[in-house]
Every structure is written in C-alpha cells, then in structure tokens.
Structure 1
Amino acid sequence: MSDAGVTTVSSNGVYAFTKPNRDSITLLAGLGVEGDVHAGVTVKHRSRVAQDPTAPNLRQVHLIHAELFDEVARAGFDVVPGALGENITTRGIDLLALPTGTRLHLGAEAVVEVTGLRNPCAQIDTYRHGLLKQVLGRDEDGRLVRKAGIMSVVLTGGEVRPGDPIRVELPAEPHRPLERV
C-alpha cells in the first residue's frame, strides 16, 4: 500500500447524485468536507435524516477506489471520479478490505477514520441503468458485498489534493470488518 494515493477530490454544496471534481478540498475535523452538502456533526443524507435527524454523521467523507471504475468499465459502464457522489477517489489501496477504525492519513495533514461501507442505492441505476448490479455482489458464502466505497469521519482537518499520498494506520486487533453505515 506504499503507492496508495488520491486521484481525484470532489464536493458539492447542493444535493445532487454526482459531485464536481475540484483542485482541492478542505476537510474539517468533526464535520467533513468544507462546503459539501453532507458536512455536519449530525447525519445529512436524506434517507438517514428521515430516520433520525439527530444521529451522528458517520458519513462525513465518502471514498471510492478508482479500481472500481476499471472493473465496471470492463462490464461496459463509463463511470468517472465524482460520478457516484464520492469526495475522494483513491488508487492503490483496497478500501473494502480495511477494518472499521482504520485511520487514513491524506496528504500532509488530514486524517479520516473509516466508519463503514457505503450502501449503494437505487440512484446508481438512475445514473447508469444496470450499474447498481455491478457495485453489489456476493461472496463465496452468498453474502452481499457492497463495492461502492467506504465512509469516514474527519479526525484532523487539512487540504487534500489529487496526487496526495495515503498512509494507512490500522486499529488495534482484533479487527472488525466493515459494515453498512
């Protein structure tokens, strides 16, 4: 994972499925991406707000691995960074294999802590019909595998840019596998 890095950063100040790519984003400790509609101490995703608007925001920063775009391209889907609403697109790190509580050091200052898996929703099929089936799979035991990235909270703020390195800091064992948040 020594070659792990940020390929793209994205944010959007309004509710929309996709997020425009930026030259940089600023992460704010305890809040998320400055100026992003999902930033805040309490949950901001519409479906979660409807359930409990006072719930803590465990989905402040959404990360997706660029390798997913490569995978869906082989199935005929053209998906670019930011298109699935992620804030940070990575390459060279198996995000889905990280345990809960992993800390990702992004660039010179920013640190996020992994809280869980993104649960892909039907909006993905609105973006590209049939894509939802590509970002959901089954493991050898028939269990559902969510491939649409991971969610995190910001521990230490800072600016994040394409080309920034990512350093992985695993939590103490025993490791807990990622679950849907």
Structure 2
Amino acid sequence: MLYAVHIEPAIVLAVASAATHDFSKQLRNEIRLLAGLGIEGDAHAGQTVKHRSRVRVDPTQPNLRQVHLIGMELHAELHRAGFDIGPADLGENITTQGLDLHALPVGTRLQLGASAMVELTGLRNPCGQIEAFRPGLLAQVLGRAEDGTLVRKAGVMGVVVTGGVVRPGDAISVSLPPPPHRVLERV
C-alpha cells in the first residue's frame, strides 16, 4: 500500500523554467502553470509530448510530462555522494521539500500555493543526459530494490489540472486518489 510520506511541512523550495531544450533550467521568482499545458514559456509545455526522444517515437502522444518535480532530499543525497547539485540543475520545474514524491501513487494531486494543481503521472526516466551533465550521476539516480527491480530517483512528472502562479515558499498539500493505488512508473 502506498501513502504520502510527510517528512516535514511540504513546501515549494524553488521554481524554474527554460524556453529551450537545455538540460538544466533557470531559477525563477515564480512560474505560471497553465491547465492542460504545463509551465508558461517552458520548452516542455503543450498538450502533446515535447520531450525530444518521445517526439521521435510519436509526436501525437499526450504530454504526461508537463511538470517535472524533484525533492530537495535527492539533492541532499547527491551532495553526500560528492555531487554539487542544486535546484533546477537536473531540469526540474519545481523543487520540493518535506515530501517523499516517489512514495505517492499515480493520480495524486498536489496543490501548489493558492490555486495551482498538478496531478502526478509517473516517474522521470533518467537518461544519458544526466551522465553527460556530471559523470557518475546516472548511477546515483538509479538503483535496485531488494527484489532487483529498477528504482528511478530522478523525480516525478505531472500534468497541470488547475493553473496558477507558483513561488518558492508556497505550501504543498496532497490529495491521494481513491484506492486501489498504482505505483508510479516511468512516463
């Protein structure tokens, strides 16, 4: 059974966007989420898939990766492993603190600040770009569970259900979907 793990009060630590398909994004004072599209002005915004590898396969796929979220807890883990990684370095739009994003099920809704809402669709699939960004980093964001299952730790993806402005310091509230819960898988 999945459940939300609150480490401390959940907040938005940082927000970022990029108009181009660069690996890292630029930190912002605020970002505007657009319902059904993603982050205003971000290269990955749109109703259909925008990630280049997915576009090559089928450009008509729905965009289940409109918003990328990573917990600051991953950044802390990477620091302990010797990597100087901060918010937006891994391409996330929203860096959270105080919430175990990977423990949440598909369909979880996160209210960010006063009005914006993101519904989680799955896990980010770490790729070779992470290794090119920092040699050795890919091994740090991939692991194996006790049963040998691949564990992806590079963040979660979601779609914008309700638009609004999101800023660092905004509170995050969690609404779980009705059971049965489905584990997040790569999207």
Identical columns (%): 67
- Which residue is equivalent to 2:95? 89
Give the aligned partner of residue 169 of structure 1. 175
Which residue of 42, 57, 64 corresponds with 2:63? Answer: 57
Tell me the TM-score normalized by structure 2.
0.96
Partner of 2:27: 21
Rounded to whole Å, the distance in 2 between the matches of 1:139 and 1:4 is 26
Q: How many aligned residue pairs are there?
A: 181
CA distance in 2, matches of 1:170, 1:38: 25
Residue matched to 1:9: 15
Q: Which residue of 2 aligns with 1:37?
A: 43
Q: CA RMSD, aligned part only?
A: 0.6
Whether 1:68 aligns to 2:74 is yes
Cα offsets for 1:6-56 (capped at 9, x unmatched): 000000001100001000000000000000000000000000000000000
Offset at 1:108? 0.1
- Quote the residue 1:120 is aligned against: 126
List structure 1 runs of 4+ shifted beyond 4 angstroms.
none
Q: Normalised by the size of structure 1, how large is the TM-score?
A: 0.99
